[in-house]
Amino acid sequence: MPTIEPYQRRWLLTFGTTLALLLSGAVALSLRLPSFREPAFNFYAMKPGEIFNVYGLTRRQEGSVKLGFAEAYPAPEIGLYGNHIVAYFGADAFGRPEDAEYFFNYYYANLSLPEIRRYLLRVAQLNHLPKKLILVQITPPNADNGGAIVDRGNELPPDIFLSSIKDDERSDRILPIVALSWELVSNWLHEILNYNTVIMSLFPSGGYEERTLNPANCHGTPPPAWLSHLPTQLQTKLGTYGGFRCVPRLWAGALRRDGSQRVPRDEDRMPLVQNENPLKESERALRTGDEHTIAREMRAIDAVGRRHGVKVVFLVPPVYETDRRESVVNRIFDRALALAPDVAIIDHREMRSDPKLFEGGIHASPRYYRILAEELRRRGFLE
Amino acid sequence: MNFNSLEFLVLLLPTTFVAFYVVPMQLRLWVLVVASLVFYGVSGPEVLLAFLIAILWGYATAFLFGRASRALAIVVAISVPALFLIMFKYFGFILDTVRAQPETRDHFWFFFSIVLPAGISFYTFEIVSYSLDVADKKIEPERDLLRFTSFATFFPHLIAGPIMRYADLRQQLQALQSTPILKPNIVSALKLLSIGLIFKIFVADFSGTRIAKASELPIEQLSGIDQLTEIAFWSVQIYYDFWAYSVMAIGLGRLFCVKLPVNFREPYLSRDPREFWQRWHVTLSYWLRDYVYIRMGGREAYVRNILIVFALVGLWHGAGWNFVAWGIYHAILVILYHVTAPAWDRLPRPIAVATTFTLVSFGWPLFFLSLEKYGMFLGHLVTAASWQTSVYRLYDWLYLLAIGVITFGLRERNWLYNEPTSRNPITDSPIVAALLMFVGLLSISLSRTFIYFRF
């Protein structure tokens, strides 16, 4: 053991006690944070035109709103599982605006394929898989430099992957217990030691009722003039905690009845940036060998659908970019698709240059989703 | 793995610390090597394998000196580490430069598809310096493979320096193996870790978010003030990113009773461009001085040698013409100072420091922009039609002012590297350190990879 002189000992004692108290406080605060998973929010009960405001929710809470819904209520005919990339994919793409009984968008944070597999396994256990078609979105490789495809972002609550272990075909990794323990601890750490979790638990910002509103009928307390002079982020935070529900800016990211995200108003729209991700080599998230992992994950997801008699179609939406087909991540992804010729996939990476098809550099627009829906119909996936 | 990750700070570091002080002294280096390999291995098995091969090669080929001709032994010793560096880091750049056809690239797909090994430039330089020092008989070849591996893998300096020489670490590593009771300076270590973490997140990475604010707009929409503010943020981001890593590395070294040198000695306080390079990434500057500049003849062909050395500095920082241009830009500054030194040295200190800082700052955008975009950036600045800010606000400038006060107004010897006898009431307080560590841990999700991580 090291020798520690008296001054160091006193210093360490104070440091350790203070840090331990603060960390205990963070853990205690995170425990009082409402889950937004139980009782589940019922999207089916929303009226057309209503939105579910997600401001002031942690990432985990926001995802839990949909996760709770997926667990508590049967899925409609078509269910879309993916991440924020497909946020604007609504039932209107099929000509059935906000028809949650036909199509629901279960997109959640930044889920990657392994997390979507676990999500689906959990839903399958509850017999809540979509009746006709499972759409699984894969993050286009050039959107996030290969990120959010097979890497895990600690997005799902740990009980989801614990509950699905016995059904999981992919529990074949070396040292599964070590890997699983590492993942559990890492998941827990990222949830507890998070400024968002602490802040949100200090300032609860409203339950289901306060969060459901119809923008057309919003006549709540108007926000004070000084609010509009503050930086945008501060406006939204203060607006949420101040209860100013009728601030349109607070509705950014709000969910519609079919689980899709409300398209931003023109004045809130960010400029459309081509090649939003510069694909820096130093930040590349796919490497050689990942093509096999991607292909295996796709097959495992496809198998979940097959076991329950539901067709699975994978979607790769486009990114607004120049011709970057030769990027390393794109080529690794090409190889992955070549390794899984047996699964159904709609790969639209080539539709990269028409700005009308995008809401942001990596988010396709409702116009694109109408084209996608048409292709699904044409290829017989909707029959 | 990175210093600014929860997995490192909450799991790997405490586990390694406890294991290091619990095991018998003969096993301490084993603990460090295992922890370092875990730290590095998270990046992937291929890069770990390449790293281990480079280490073993450096270790084994050192015994060639004295048995084969010196020149041949040097070529053999540095061949594999240098080849790895070229293939993993520079090969894409070389093929781009010669406009290689896609079919040519396909032959080398393996090298492109592996993620650039973290810290490859650092460990290559360390292994090469070891071989050259053995060749010059400055040190004896190390027979203890464990000790040599500890030198190359020691995680505090593995990813982003400082670039250590074997002679600097050998005795310290020997002491770890043979001193029954160690006396670590844990107080100083935790203080440096906390401060480094906070500066990384709230200065370097925050500045990065402010830069992104301007970068996502077309250049035509930026005013002159916006561009100058962006340059100021670049200067803050780059410096504090490197600085924070360096401070954390020194703190981590102290936790394990290993003294690492200060790599950034308040470089923005430099009076002239030459002094800047005596304060900025000191271990890299000395490495290039000792192994390149002096070997080429030093002052005998000053201008040529400075140009070559700084072009290498640029290339070392990144595989791209923008990095080469950045190096040449600094070479020109150093040569300019060399020519005008009598006049420059007569400038009042504040003016000399401000001039140096401004000149250095105008080079930083080359770290992030291609040559073409940098040209457009400067062109737009010179011809700026508007000086009405469209991106930045008062709070951005207040923030920069606060950072300016810390950078130019405080001396690190008074608050960071102060002696135990002159304690700073704020930075040496255990409560402040605990608060900083807590806030740092909570905010890690805001943090980004260290810029030097892939150098």
Query: Has residue A281 got a pLDDT over 80?
Result: no
pLDDT at position A235, please?
A: 65
What's the confidence (pLDDT) of residue B54? Answer: 95
Q: What is the pLDDT of residue B52?
A: 95
pLDDT at A54: 87
- Altogether, the residues listed in chain B come to a count of 455
Kindly state whether B49 is in contact with chain A, defined as any CB-CB distance less than 8 angstroms: no
Residue B7 is predicted with a pLDDT of 86
Q: How many CB pairs under 8 A join A and B?
A: 109
At residue B299, the pLDDT reads: 84
- In this prediction, residue A237 carries a pLDDT of 63
Instruction: Give the strands of the sheet with A103-105, arranged side by side.
Output: A103-105, A78-81, A133-137, A311-316, A344-347
The mean-pLDDT minimum among A130-144, A152-166, A225-239, A241-255 falls in: A225-239
What confidence category does residue A95 fall into, taking pLDDT thresholds of 50, 70 and 90? Answer: very high
B211 close contact with A: CB closer than 8 A: no
3-class secondary-structure state, position B369: coil
pLDDT of residue B215: 84
CA distance A36 to A43: 13
> For residues A216-236, b (16+ Cβ closer than 10 Å) or e, as one string?
eeeeeeebeeebeeeeeeebb
Check residue A222 and report its DSSP letter: P
The answer for A49, left when phi > 0, alpha when psi is -120 to 50, beta otherwise, is left
Give the side-chain half-sphere CA count within 13 A for A302: 15
Token couple for A212 = 């459901």
pLDDT of residue A236: 62
- Rounded to whole angstroms, the Cα distance separating A193 from B442 reads 5
Q: Does A6 touch chain B (CB under 8 A)?
A: no
Whether the CB-CB separation of B119 and B43 falls below 8 Å is answered with no
Which residue in A4, A15, A189 is closest to B190 by CB distance? A15
Q: Tokens for B294?
A: 């002096």
Contacts of B393 in chain A (CB under 8 A): 231
Distance CA B201, CA B11 (A): 20
Q: Is the peptide bond before B342 cis (omega within 30 degrees of 0)?
A: no
pTM assigned to the model: 0.86
Q: What is the 3-state secondary structure (H, E, C) of A85-149?
A: HHCCCCHHHHCCCCCCCCEEECCCCCCCHHHHHHHHHHHHHCCCCCCCEEEEECCCCCCCCCCCC
Q: Are A363 and A88 in contact (CB under 8 A)?
A: yes
The answer for A 51-110 residues in CB contact with B (under 8 A) is none
Omega before residue A318 within 30° of 0, cis: no
Q: Residue A221: its pLDDT value, please?
A: 62
B310-336 as b/e, with b when 16 or more CB fall inside 10 Å?
Answer: bbebbbbbbbbbbbbbbbbbbbbbbbe
A369 token code pair: 């989703």
Task: Name the residue among A22, A194, A198 with its Cβ closest to that of B434.
Answer: A22
pLDDT number for residue A119: 93
Among residues B40, B36, B62, the alpha carbon closest in space to that of B50 is found at B40
Provide DSSP, A39-54. Answer: SPP-GGGSPTT-EE--
A232 touches chain B (CB under 8 A): no
In chain B, which residues have pLDDT < 50?
none
pLDDT the model gives residue A173: 53
Confidence (pLDDT) at A287: 86
One-letter amino acid at A298 equals M
The share of chain A scoring above pLDDT 70, in percent, equals 89
Asked if pLDDT for residue A169 goes beyond 80, the answer is: no
A241 pLDDT more than 70: no
How close is the nearest chain B Cα to the Cα of A335, in Å?
12
pLDDT at A160: 85
A338 close to B (CB below 8 A): no
- Whether A183 has a pLDDT exceeding 70, the answer reads yes
Interface test with B, best of A8, A233, A330 (most B CBs within 10 A): A8
Residue type, A69: F
Smallest Cβ–Cβ distance between A282 and the set B217, B433, B453 belongs to B453
Q: With 0-12 CB in 10 A as exposed, 13-18 as middle and 19+ as buried, what is A258? A: buried
Q: How many CB atoms lie within 10 A of CB B280?
A: 23
Catalytic residues of B: 317
Closest CA of chain A from B454, distance in Å: 6
Cβ atoms within 10 Å of B384's Cβ, excluding its own: 15
